[in-house]
Amino acid sequence: MGTIHETDHSSDGPSTSPAAKPDEQTHDDRRAWVTVAASSLTMFVYLGVVYSWGITQVRLVETTGSSLTTLTFVGSLATSFMICLSVVSDKIVRRIGYRLAALVGGVFMGLGEVLAGFATHHVVALFFLHGLVFGLGGGLCVFSVSTAPMSLFKRRKALAMGFVFGGGSLGSAVMSVVTNFLVRDLDVAWTFRILGFILWGVSIPASFFLPRSTGSGNKSSRQLQWFRFKQPRFLLLVGGTVLACFPLFIPPYFVPIFSRSMGYSKETGIIVLAAWNLASTLGRILAGWVADTLLGPVESLAICILFMSLSSLIVWPLSTSIGIFAVYLIFNGIGCGAFFSLTPIAISATFGGENTLSIIPVVWTTWFCGFFFGTPIASGLYSLSGDTAGLESFRPAAYYAGAMAMAGFACVLGVRFARKAEMAVN
């Protein structure tokens, strides 16, 4: 495949001036990598808590008397705030800067979890505390730490973003194991409180290592580029990433259940989930290097979505042993992990680096349906096949995940051809 480092530095709509003087600040220096480290630590604890919800909700079924489906929506609500408030988070960051926004978000994240520790018998309170308070804080914090490094790099932007989001995958692997032990030994109430203290202890100090401001000069100078919806390339990129969001959070919920259906213990299921998260960590970092040096961001993004699709369509339905299932874990983990770190870089490569921060909130906001409904749809398909014996009951969910990812792959691949068509017309 040819390179895709063909960026659109023109604007088809109102002119904007994000990063109007980019050459006045340094790039790729030590301070930039310190920001990456701080952002990675925040992602470590935030996604660690998000991906551990599948463990805590099993115990909450007993303490609240609610169904597993209801508690799944509590977790989905918290997760959806990671992206659905991107437009609001963008305005807050432009107003008060990355550092203060991440600090406020960190305070709310920890507060939601600590207070949830006193309400483990009331599902409505969990919707408010974990779903809303933790979710809102997480959305603000994640937007800050995932966009702050973008303006600090030129040569190694994809690799830097790989390390930022790779911290989240590593945190998911580590904290899922930690959460399992906490729930087992201290019960779920103290698990929430300890997770809240961990969120405070990591995210609040880390926020002080982020840039104080966005570096865009006039706080009102950068406008969100909603006019991009008139462009075929943008519609293809949005459509592809939206479709790919639906299967993103299916593995964290289904991998432990599937491993137990294969005859393994609960502890083994947690280890298997940790292996998927480690593969996701590898994918986020490795994909950044590949995008920087070999293929380019858009083609790398398309390939990672293809990994998600083929692993679900072919490998998962045929997994009758841990060896075959390990192949699924590796390729699906790499694909899901790389998706997060490559999407901002693909936006930058397609529409120009100076437009990236004006487009990311628009794109992320469109992901809400995939984040909120993706896993519940898979759970519903699994429930409908409940009469099917053995591992075959998981196949509808696997085919659903693979089909959505394949449709997303086709759209993202179309971005490249749409760009060539536009160049030919011009």
How much of the chain is helix, strand and coil, in % rounded to 5? 80, 0, 20
Q: Residue 83: enclosing H or E segment and its boundaries?
A: helix 68-84
Helical axes 86-116 vs 135-147, angle rounded to 10°:
130
* Largest CA-CA distance found in the chain, in angstroms, rounded: 66
Report d(CA 5, CA 321) in Å as an integer: 42
The pLDDT of residue 32:
86
Tens of pLDDT, residue by residue over 125-143, are 999 999 999 999 999 999 9
Q: Is the dihedral of CA 46, 47, 51, 52 positive or negative?
A: negative
- Phi/psi at 263 (5° precision): 100, 10
The pLDDT of residue 1:
42
Tens-of-pLDDT digits for all 426 residues of the chain? 444 444 554 444 444 444 434 434 556 678 889 999 999 999 999 999 998 887 888 788 887 777 777 888 888 888 888 888 888 888 899 899 999 999 999 999 999 999 999 988 888 999 999 999 999 999 999 999 988 888 787 777 778 888 888 888 889 889 988 998 999 889 899 999 999 999 999 999 999 999 887 655 444 456 888 888 988 899 999 999 999 999 988 888 788 778 878 888 877 888 888 889 889 888 888 887 888 788 888 999 999 999 999 999 999 998 888 889 999 999 999 999 899 888 988 998 888 878 888 898 899 889 988 888 888 888 888 878 766 656 788 889 899 999 999 999 999 999 888 766 666 665
The pLDDT of residue 25:
54
The pLDDT of residue 423:
63
Provide Rg for the chain, Cα atoms: 21
Tens of pLDDT, residue by residue over 154-184, are 777 778 888 888 888 889 889 988 998 999 8
Report d(CA 414, CA 278) in Å as an integer: 30
The pLDDT of residue 5:
47
Tokens of 250: 């299916």
Please give the domain boundaries of the chain with CATH numbers for all domains. 27-219 (1.20.1250.20), 223-426 (1.20.1250.20)
Q: What is the dihedral of CA 388, 254, 373, 409, to 10 degrees?
A: -100
Per-residue b/e over 158-193, b at no fewer than 16 CB within 10 Å? Answer: bbbbbbbbbbbbbbbbbbbbbbbebbeeeebbebbb
Q: Where are the alpha helices (DSSP H) in 262-294?
A: 266-293
The pLDDT of residue 379:
81
Q: How far from 98 is each of 49, 102, 214, 245, CA to CA, in Å?
A: 22, 6, 6, 26
